[in-house]
Amino acid sequence: MKKVALCHIKKSYDQKTTVLNDISVTIEPGEFFVLVGPSGCGKSTMLRMIAGLEPITSGELRLDGELANDWSPSARDLSMVFQNYALLPHLTVEKNITFGLHTKKRSKREQEKQCLEVCEMLGLSAYRHKKPRELSGGQRQRVALARAIVTQAPLCLMDEPLSNLDAKLRAKMRSEIRQLQRKLGLTMIYVTHDQTEAMTMADRMMILHNGDVQQIGRPLDVYNEPANRFVASFIGAPPMNLITVDCTGAQLTIAGHTVMNLDTTTRAKIGEEMVTLGIRPEHIRIAGESEEGLLCDVANVEILGTETLVTLNVTEDTQWIARFIGQWSIDMDKPMKVAMDTNKVCLFSNETGERLSMPHQEVAATEVRS
Q: Dihedral of the CA atoms 78, 84, 88, 91 (nearest 10)?
A: 90
pTM: 0.87
Using the predicted structure, report yes or no on whether residue 366 has a pLDDT greater than 50.
Answer: no
- Would you list the DSSP string of 65-134? TEE-TT--GGGG-EEEE-TT----TTS-HHHHHTTTGGGGT--HHHHHHHHHHHHHHHT-GGGTTS-GGG
pLDDT of residue 201: 94
Q: Say which CATH topology domain 238-359 has.
A: OB fold (Dihydrolipoamide Acetyltransferase, E2P) (2.40.50)
Class of domain 4-224: alpha beta
Say if residues 84 and 136 touch (Cβ distance below 8 Å). Answer: no
Q: Do domains 4-224 and 238-359 have the same CATH topology?
A: no
Say if residues 116 and 109 touch (Cβ distance below 8 Å). Answer: no
User: What would the mean pLDDT of 265-276 be, rounded to a whole number?
Assistant: 77
Say if residues 46 and 35 touch (Cβ distance below 8 Å). Answer: yes
With a pLDDT cut of 90, the percent of the chain lying above it is 52
Say if residues 324 and 310 touch (Cβ distance below 8 Å). Answer: yes
For 240-269, the pLDDT digits (tens) are 999 988 877 777 878 777 777 777 777 777
Greatest mean pLDDT among 136-140, 193-197, 219-223, 291-295 lies in 219-223
pLDDT of residue 274: 83
Those residues with Cβ within 8 angstroms of residue 158's Cβ, 6 or more apart along the chain or in another chain: 80, 81, 177, 188, 189, 190, 191
Say if residues 233 and 239 touch (Cβ distance below 8 Å). Answer: yes
The least confident of 61-65, 310-314, 330-334 is 330-334
What Å distances lie between residue 285 and 17, 274, 282, 322, 337, CA to CA? 46, 25, 8, 7, 9
**Can you say whether the dihedral through the CA atoms of 369, 361, 222, 296 is positive or negative?**
negative
Using the predicted structure, report yes or no on whether residue 203 has a pLDDT greater than 70.
Answer: yes
User: What would the mean pLDDT of 269-278 be, rounded to a whole number?
Assistant: 81
* For the chain, domain boundaries: 4-224, 238-359
In this predicted model, which residue has the larger pLDDT, 154 or 250? 154
